[in-house]
């Protein structure tokens, strides 16, 4: 297999989006198959929900150290390596005989998760001209949306029809195909000079330094709040949806498909404006999430749940596009350190939200999950409005971003 170095940026961005699809679909698949995995392994649904928490904890703790240890590796090879580990871990998960073994296989993937997400956005930014980093990120994050649009609902339907192991194995295959795409389509991207000289201590100091900057701290705080608000309820969307005669089985897969389709539309719309109006966009998205979660809390059953889930999908799926573009914009000369900090913040949100949801669900307070999520996302909206340096209503093109010696055209 030979590398093709002279592909246009869109082909390389598509390869990155394919790998993002595989990572996101596999990470969140337990949400749709929570009852099936629990029944197949003889475990409680609340315990299966902890698969997201344990994954997030390991990904968050390992993101900065492993990013530092891999700074000298050319970026195209590093991304290929992380996807290769992903494929191996998913293959092991498909064969797991117990919940503990399944969790262990997922944790292997979690070790490279932080490196993958710390690297992918800076790489996307290097593939395009100055001022287009947000747009490039939005294109890559279409893979996230596609994972929710197609990956999670189709994986859920496949798992319900043929068993959850088949669904996990299918995502191992998807990862293998994305690995081939990365190897063939991503151009050679050597580590930048300041990356090659980095050490763990230097990256840790850089992470602390960028986090001390108020705009970076604000982006991370908003990230934690939005993601906690999301996963406190989304982790248990299957039991939430089936309340009062709501959808189950194939109907649940269709609802998740609608959630993802709305997210794909939201991602596309936000991607067109993310470089110009980040503050206004993120405020609108956070308020929309709040309204959707409040509706689910106030009107259980299909009449209230279905339209609210669609709004929820459109709002949250587009939010990481704005957040990732923001972290690159507020730290243009420390993108790897800032991206690593952002990944940690995101994983804290996933782990914290899933853990809070598990505690409440186990205690019999399922109905409280969307209400708590709404309160947290409303707090995030208020913080966005207060942090105008991190999320300005209008922006100017970023002409100070680090560039490759020979930009790709």
Domain positions in the chain: 9-386
Of 52-56, 333-337, 365-369, which range is least confident?
333-337
Distance CA(182)–CA(3), nearest Å, equals 9
pLDDT at site 204: 63
pLDDT at site 332: 66
pLDDT at site 205: 65
What CATH number was assigned to the domain covering residues 9-386? 1.20.1250.20
pLDDT at 401 over 50: no
In the predicted model, what is the mean pLDDT of residues 390-397?
A: 70
Q: Where are the beta strands (DSSP E) in 229-384?
A: none
Write the CB contacts of 405 (distance below 8 Å, at least 6 apart in sequence).
none
Note the pLDDT tens digit of each residue in 232-247.
998 888 888 777 666 6
pLDDT at site 61: 81
In the predicted model, what is the mean pLDDT of residues 170-192?
A: 85
pLDDT at site 404: 41
The proportion of the chain whose per-residue pLDDT surpasses 90, expressed as a percent, equals 22
Distance CA(239)–CA(297), nearest Å, equals 13
The rounded mean pLDDT for the chain is: 81
pLDDT at 3 over 60: no
Residue 276 · residue 270 · CB < 8 Å: no
Residue 323 · residue 219 · CB < 8 Å: yes
Who wins on pLDDT, 404 or 159? 159
Who wins on pLDDT, 91 or 213? 91
Of 91-95, 259-263, 391-395, which range is least confident?
391-395
pLDDT at 7 over 50: no
pLDDT at site 206: 62
User: Burial of 1 by CB count in 10 Å (0-12 exposed, 13-18 middle, 19+ buried)?
Assistant: exposed
Which two three-digit tokens encode residue 249?
Answer: 């089985």
Who wins on pLDDT, 362 or 339? 362
Distance CA(72)–CA(75), nearest Å, equals 8
Distance CA(237)–CA(256), nearest Å, equals 9
Highest mean pLDDT among 312-326, 344-358, 374-388: 374-388
pLDDT at site 393: 72
In the predicted model, what is the mean pLDDT of residues 48-73?
A: 82
Residue 182 · residue 85 · CB < 8 Å: no
Residue 282 · residue 322 · CB < 8 Å: yes
The proportion of the chain whose per-residue pLDDT surpasses 70, expressed as a percent, equals 83
Angle 103-107-108 (CA atoms, 0-180°, nearest 5)?
125
């Amino acid at each position: 297999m030979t590398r093709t170095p002279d592909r246009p940026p869109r082909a390389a961005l598509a390869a990155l989006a394919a790998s993002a699809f595989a990572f996101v679909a596999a990470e969140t698949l337990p949400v749709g198959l929570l009852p099936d995995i629990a029944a197949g392994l003889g475990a409680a649904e609340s315990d299966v929900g902890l698969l997201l928490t344990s994954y997030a904890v390991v990904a968050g703790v390992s993101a900065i150290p492993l990013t530092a240890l891999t700074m000298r590796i050319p970026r195209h090879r590093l991304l290929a390596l992380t996807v290769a580990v992903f494929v191996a871990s998913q293959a092991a998960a498909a064969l797991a005989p117990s919940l503990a073994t399944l969790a262990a296989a997922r944790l292997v993937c979690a070790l490279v998760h932080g490196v993958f997400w710390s690297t992918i956005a800076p790489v996307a930014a290097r593939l395009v001209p100055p001022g287009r980093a947000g747009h490039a990120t939005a294109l890559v994050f279409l893979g996230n949306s596609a994972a929710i649009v197609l990956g999670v609902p189709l994986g859920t339907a496949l798992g319900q029809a043929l068993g959850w192991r088949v669904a996990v194995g299918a995502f191992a295959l998807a990862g293998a195909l994305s690995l081939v795409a990365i190897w063939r389509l991503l151009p050679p991207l050597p580590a930048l000079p300041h990356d090659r000289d980095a050490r763990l201590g230097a990256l840790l100091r850089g992470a602390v330094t960028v986090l001390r900057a108020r705009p970076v701290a604000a982006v991370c705080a908003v990230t934690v709040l939005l993601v906690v608000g999301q996963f406190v309820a989304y982790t248990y969307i299957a039991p939430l949806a089936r309340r009062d005669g709501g959808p189950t089985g194939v109907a649940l897969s269709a609802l998740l498909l609608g959630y993802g389709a709305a997210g794909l539309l939201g991602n596309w719309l936000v991607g067109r404006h993310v470089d110009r109006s980040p503050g206004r966009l993120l405020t609108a998205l956070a308020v929309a999430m709040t309204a959707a979660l409040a509706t689910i809390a106030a009107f259980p059953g299909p009449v209230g749940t279905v339209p609210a889930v669609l709004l929820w999908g459109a709002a949250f799926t587009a939010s990481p596009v704005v957040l990732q573009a923001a972290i690159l914009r507020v730290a243009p000369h420390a993108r790897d350190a800032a991206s690593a900090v952002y990944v940690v913040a995101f994983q804290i949100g996933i782990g914290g939200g899933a853990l809070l949801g598990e505690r409440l669900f186990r205690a019999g307070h399922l109905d409280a999950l969307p209400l708590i999520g709404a309160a947290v996302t409303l707090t995030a909206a208020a913080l966005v409005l207060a942090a105008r340096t991190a999320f300005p209503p209008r922006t100017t093109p970023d002409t100070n971003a680090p560039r490759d010696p020979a930009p790709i055209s």
